[in-house]
């Protein structure tokens, strides 16, 4: 399996490029507009054909590269079925499978950070990984105070869906602010301070009292992302 993790310093965003090997079809998850040339450069170097570009949700802290990648590669752009981004080529629903050239992802509806967030689960043999967007972070979770976010839905998505995946499943979020690259379901069950040993009510109380400022680019990023990164 070919797996590359990109990091955008400005928004602390992780982007994932996945293929079964050099010269094969590939997909990308949560791409950032400013890094489009870097993605295309690596895709060219590895002789990949980008066939799908996926956003886990409508991001509020950066502008997506979905539209630019579609223009450059003719790839299919994808988001969950509840997104308001009418520009995407295809929508996925709970349980849908995305198959490309030896790679299979399963869509999991995980609202809470936003009301349209999806995670994507990959498994092959005894290896598993889940790309969680912002709903589950490393030793944290995505804020729930805008874009239809809801702490109780977040808790349900994490505890009753993601935490039921195998313990050894690697967790790859869309953001990290402390330099962590990945985690696992086991670690987050036992060591995530917002979730480990917490009831739904306790989690909701934590999330409702974060008192975070709005993302700096929210007024720009959200409308741009509803147009797949093109300025509306």
Looking at every residue in the chain, the average pLDDT score rounds to: 96
Chain-centroid distance of CA 94 in Å reads 15
- pLDDT given for residue 225 in this prediction: 93
Mean pLDDT of 77-93: 96
Tell me which residue of 113, 192, 198 sits closest to 150, measured CA to CA: 113
Q: Residue 231: is its pLDDT beyond 80?
A: no
pLDDT tens per residue across span 156-187: 999 999 999 999 999 999 999 999 999 999 99
- pLDDT given for residue 215 in this prediction: 82
Look up the pTM and report it: 0.96
pLDDT tens per residue across span 47-64: 999 999 999 999 999 999
Orientation angle between helical segments 200-207 and 151-160, nearest 10 degrees: 130
Residue 206 or 124, more confident: 206
- pLDDT given for residue 51 in this prediction: 98
- pLDDT given for residue 232 in this prediction: 59
Among residues of the chain, what percentage have pLDDT more than 90? 92
Mean pLDDT of 84-101: 96
- Residue 209, judged by CB atoms within 10 A of its CB (0-12, 13-18, 19+), counts as exposed
- pLDDT given for residue 126 in this prediction: 87
Q: Output the six-digit token pair for 15.
A: 């982007």
């Amino acid at each position: 399996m070919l797996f590359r993790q990109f990091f955008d310093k400005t928004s602390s965003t992780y982007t994932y490029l996945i293929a079964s090997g050099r010269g094969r079809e590939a997909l990308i998850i949560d791409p950032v507009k400013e890094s489009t040339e870097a993605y295309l450069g690596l895709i060219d170097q590895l002789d990949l054909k980008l066939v799908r570009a996926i956003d886990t949700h409508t991001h509020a802290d950066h502008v997506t590269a979905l539209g630019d990648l579609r223009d450059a590669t003719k790839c299919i752009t994808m988001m969950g079925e509840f997104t308001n981004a009418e520009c995407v080529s295809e929508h996925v629903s709970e349980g849908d499978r995305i198959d490309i050239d030896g790679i299979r992802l399963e869509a999991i509806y995980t609202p809470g950070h936003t009301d349209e967030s999806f995670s994507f689960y990959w498994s092959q043999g005894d290896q598993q990984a889940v790309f969680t967007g912002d709903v589950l972070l490393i030793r944290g979770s995505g804020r729930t105070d805008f874009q239809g976010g809801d702490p109780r839905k977040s808790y349900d998505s994490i505890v009753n869906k993601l935490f039921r995946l195998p313990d050894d499943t690697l967790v790859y979020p869309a953001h990290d602010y402390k330099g962590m690259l990945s985690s696992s379901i086991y670690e987050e069950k036992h060591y995530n301070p917002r979730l480990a040993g917490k009831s739904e009510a306790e989690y909701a109380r934590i999330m409702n009292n974060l008192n975070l400022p709005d993302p700096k680019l929210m007024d720009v990023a959200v409308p741009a992302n509803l147009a797949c990164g093109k300025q509306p």
